[in-house]
Amino acid sequence: MTAGQSGMARCINLAALQVLIQLLAGDGYAVIGPIRRDDAIVYDRIAGITDLPAGWTDDQGPGHYALVRRGDDALFGYAVGPDAWKRFLHPPVETLWRAQREGDTFTLAAPRAPAPRYAFLGVRACDLRAIAIQDRVFCQGAYTDRSYADRRRNAFIVAVHCGGVGGNCFCASMGCGPRVDAGFDLALTELVDPAPHRFLIEVGSEAGAAMLARLDSEEATSSDLDLAESVFKRAASQMGRHINTRGLKELLQTQPHHPRWDEVAARCMACGNCTMACPTCFCTTIEDHGSIDESSAERVRTWDSCFTLDFSFIHGGSVRQSASSRYRQWLTHKLAHWIDQFGVAGCVGCGRCITWCPVGIDLTEEVAALRMATDPGSTVSHEHP
Amino acid sequence: MTTAQDANVFEPTVYRVASIVREFEDVVTLTLHPEGVQRPAFTPGQFNMLYTFGVGEAAISICGEDEDQRGFVHTVRQVGAVSQALASVSEGDAIGLRGPFGKGWPLSEAERGDIVFVAGGLGLAPLRPAIEHVLRHRSRYRRVTLLFGTRNPRTILYAKDIERWRRQADINGVVTVDHADAGWRGSVGAVPALIAGAPFDPRSTVAMVCGPEVMMRFTVASLLDAGLPAERIHLSMERNMKCAIGLCGRCQYGHDFICKDGPVMRYDRLANRFSVREI
Ligand SMILES: Cc1cc2nc3c(=O)[nH]c(=O)nc-3n(C[C@H](O)[C@H](O)[C@H](O)COP(=O)(O)OP(=O)(O)OC[C@H]3O[C@@H](n4cnc5c(N)ncnc54)[C@H](O)[C@@H]3O)c2cc1C
Ligand code: SF4
Ligand code: SF4
Ligand code: FES
């Protein structure tokens, strides 16, 4: 369903948005939305619209992020912050089970706390796609990650179309935005100017329709729809960056010896920030702990990154010793292998890895460089030692 | 795609250590029996995740089952915390097990032709149930060769089994050592060097190889030289594994997850990365 379908689109005002948050909370959801904290817009619990970052936007560039005032009171007038929704659906630290020693054996007691019910307010098109991608990773393979699946099934998603995009955004190149297309319960388009401040609201699911029915809304006028259309157009024209994806998978998969890998490795600190900030990166490590008296044990899963040496450790040493091999793993996985593994690229063009890289490495630039410099000796060798 | 497994795939099942054989100084073979449940079926070449309470988990190949098929047999070399703990268990101890996982050896594809098994060191462990399978169905296969390389005559894994395979099953078993001692009358040198002289018809042979990656690299080169096509060479690959079910990302090798797309992989499908370092 799109905003253009007449008769379907409705409008709500600020008071109704406040009611939406309260109704969700009343229905037992932990409502998570954007708030301003530590000079960034992050996602956390919200109680109402006054928690939202009214009038703030984010200025982003390679290795650069700063909050600046907008000229208006837009609540969703920023692009994306350091957090992705995976923080909630695929938490950074998760206890998978606990076990007790009993006599000469042990028994497992999974933490049976019911999965949290999250309502997300302000999910961008790129992040919506990132959630769909993690669904493929965790729920659509041979094995289902049960705790992810439970949290995901419980989630209520209120998407927000991007009005202005960030300097590092390239969702359009990845076919993921800026317009929200699917995977939401409700989707908002923020209309600030001319007053009154209001939201075009679209329904994406039965749960969304039921919720909309409980809100005061009015039918969107044709000028509302025109205004929304101009918001979309503006966003699409403001993309800060671009990736040419044509033939990119083949390029990356056949250039393991390209000199650019060493060149980028000279700048890369292998800190792993890009993988932590990325909304699709899913890698984890598992740690087993035992209590000092050996009576209990637990298994904890934490986010991990292919930039650590530990990631590829096998007896005798890590497979990926050099930073260049680790950067190669990262970029090739995101933009190439992912397509073989899950049927879609692992990048949604949100730009977080560019913004939060301490030295400002920009994957769109790296891809362009990999394309440009042709290295005759580096197509994959079929010879044997 | 296989149907989604619903149980909590991270939860190990309790098994008891039924017997322990110390193969040599740092290698033990454990027979593990499930408690109160039936042991799941397995394919030769698959592995289990073995857990010692409070210490951790390691991927260990299934190297066999006991006579009455009650349990799994695993051979472990101590190299770090988990394998050390596994190597120090006592009979009757409870350990955790998840599995079996992964894809095994192409034993039906190999029927009606010759087989060459090539193993280096502990790489013999995942090949052992494949060899036992051939033994049970000997008439389905033609000439069968095992080329096994190990450090020295004191580290010949499953020496008694190798004798039995030779005697009972007409398996041409050749053991070669890197360093001979005074009593050694067998072959000395690297295992790939034995391939040229092995009795097999490259037009109808399947090779199954497991060992350290360098050893496999030279082995593949020799097999190709001997005229074996790349698609009939199968390797068991190793990478760091945490989940064994395609969710943690650690075992990635190019676009494959070794835990679910392997560990046994057809050489032609990985030829393009096999010579790439640090992949
Ligand atoms: C499919 C498959 C089958 C296998 N079959 C067998 C088999 O039959 N028998 C056998 O003995 N082995 C087998 N292995 C190898 C076995 O899984 C590893 O040797 C085992 O994980 C070792 O665990 P560990 O804790 O004893 O050793 P370590 O090597 O100490 O620990 C392994 C883990 O600890 C971490 N770690 C430890 N030390 C370091 C360090 N210095 N720096 C960074 N990280 C570190 C790594 O994350 C790693 O995951 C197999 C492996 C695979 C993938
Ligand atoms: S790779 Fe970078 S731009 Fe792409 S989804 Fe991840 S963080 Fe966003
Ligand atoms: S890029 Fe690295 S951390 Fe991210 S999913 Fe791929 S292997 Fe995992
Ligand atoms: S071991 Fe976790 S994905 Fe393969």
- The DSSP secondary structure of B149-212, one letter per residue, reads EESSGGG-TTHHHHHHHHHHH-EEEEEEESS--TT--SEES-GGGGTTTS---GGGEEEEEES-
Phi first, then psi: give them for residue B59, nearest 5 degrees.
-80, 125
pLDDT for position B4? 38
Measured CA to CA, the distance from residue B195 to residue A239 in angstroms comes to: 59
**Contact yes or no for B11/A97 (Cβ under 8 A):** yes
Q: What domains are defined for chain B?
A: 4-101 (2.40.30.10), 114-274 (3.40.50.80)
3-state secondary structure of A157: strand
Among A69, A367, A68, which Cα is nearest to A243's?
A367
> In the structure, what pLDDT confidence band is assigned to residue A114 with cuts at 50, 70 and 90?
confident
Please write the tens of the pLDDT for every residue from A139-148.
Answer: 999 999 999 9
Q: Is the pLDDT of residue A63 over 80?
A: yes
pLDDT band of residue A380 (cuts 50, 70, 90) is very low
Residue A177 reports pLDDT greater than 90? no
pLDDT over 60 at A33, yes or no: yes
Per-residue pLDDT at A160: 96
Q: Between the CA of residue A363 and those of A242, A327, A334, A370, what are the distances in Å?
A: 10, 10, 10, 10
- List of residues 6+ apart from B20 with CB closer than 8 A: B28, B29, B30, B31, B89, B90, B91
- Average the pLDDT over B71-78 and give the result: 97
For chain A, give the percent of residues with pLDDT over 90. 85
Give the whole-angstrom CA distance, residue A227 versus residue A255.
46
How many Cβ pairs within 8 Å bridge chains A and B? Answer: 154
Mark residue A116 as left, alpha or beta (left: phi above 0; alpha: psi -120 to 50; beta: remaining): beta
pLDDT of residue B170: 87
Q: Hey, is the C-beta of B5 within 8 angstroms of any chain A C-beta?
A: yes
With an 8 Å Cβ cutoff, are B54 and A290 in contact? yes
Q: Is the pLDDT of residue A42 over 70?
A: yes
> What's the alpha-carbon Rg for chain A, to the nearest Å?
23
CA B7, distance to chain mean position in Å, is: 27
- DSSP secondary structure letter of residue A136: H
B243 lines ligand 4 (CB under 6 A): yes
Residue-wise pLDDT tens digits, A221-268: 999 999 999 988 888 888 889 999 999 999 999 999 999 999 999 999
A2 — pLDDT class (breaks 50, 70, 90): very low
Indicate whether residue A315 lines ligand 1 (CB < 6 A): yes
Residues 8-27 of chain B with CB under 8 A from chain A are 8-12, 14
Ligand 3 atom closest to Cα of residue A304: 3
* Chain A residues within an 8 Å CB radius of B61: none
- Nearest by CB: A143 against B35, B245, B271: B245
Asked if ipTM goes beyond 0.90, one says yes
Distance in Å, CA B174 to ligand 2 centroid: 52
Q: How far is the CA of B219 from the centre of ligand 4 (A)?
A: 26
Cβ contact A381–B279 (<8 Å): no
CA torsion sign, B188 to B192 to B195 to B196?
negative
pLDDT at residue A215 greater than cutoff 80: yes
**Which run of H or of E encompasses B252?**
strand B252-253
**Cβ contact B8–A110 (<8 Å):** yes
Residues of B in contact with A287 (CB under 8 A): 56
Q: Between A313 and B169, where is the model more confident?
A: A313
**pLDDT at position A273:** 96
Question: Does B255 touch chain A if contact means CB atoms closer than 8 Å?
Answer: yes
Q: For residue B238, which residues of chain A lie inside 8 Å, CB to CB?
A: 314
Nearest to A326 by CA among A279, A373, A371, A262: A262
pLDDT-derived band of residue B255, with 50, 70 and 90 as boundaries?
very high
Which residues, other chains included, contact B61 with Cβ-Cβ below 8 Å and sequence gap of 6+? B45, B46, B47, B74, B75, B125, B126, B236, B263
- End-to-end alpha carbon distance in chain A: 57
The predicted structure's pLDDT at residue A7? 44
**The pLDDT of residue A3:** 41
How confident is the model over A194-207, as a mean pLDDT?
94
What is the average pLDDT value for chain B, to the nearest integer?
94
pLDDT at B44 over 90: yes
Predicted confidence (pLDDT) per residue in A268-322, tens digit: 999 999 999 999 999 999 999 999 999 999 999 999 999 999 999 998 899 999 9
Over chain A, what is the mean pLDDT? 92
Residue pair A306/B249 in contact by the 8 Å Cβ criterion: yes
Q: Are A212 and A24 in contact (CB under 8 A)?
A: no
Q: What is the pLDDT of residue A40?
A: 97
Which ligand lies nearest the alpha carbon of B72? 1
Q: What is the pLDDT of residue A385?
A: 33
- Cα(B158)–Cα(B166) distance, rounded to whole angstroms? 12
Helices (H), chain A: 14-26, 86-89, 125-139, 146-154, 206-213, 222-237, 248-253, 259-265, 273-277, 323-332, 338-342, 352-355, 363-372
Q: Could you read off the pLDDT of A326-373 as tens digits, one per residue?
A: 999 999 999 999 999 999 999 999 999 999 999 999 999 999 999 987
* pLDDT over 70, % of chain A: 94
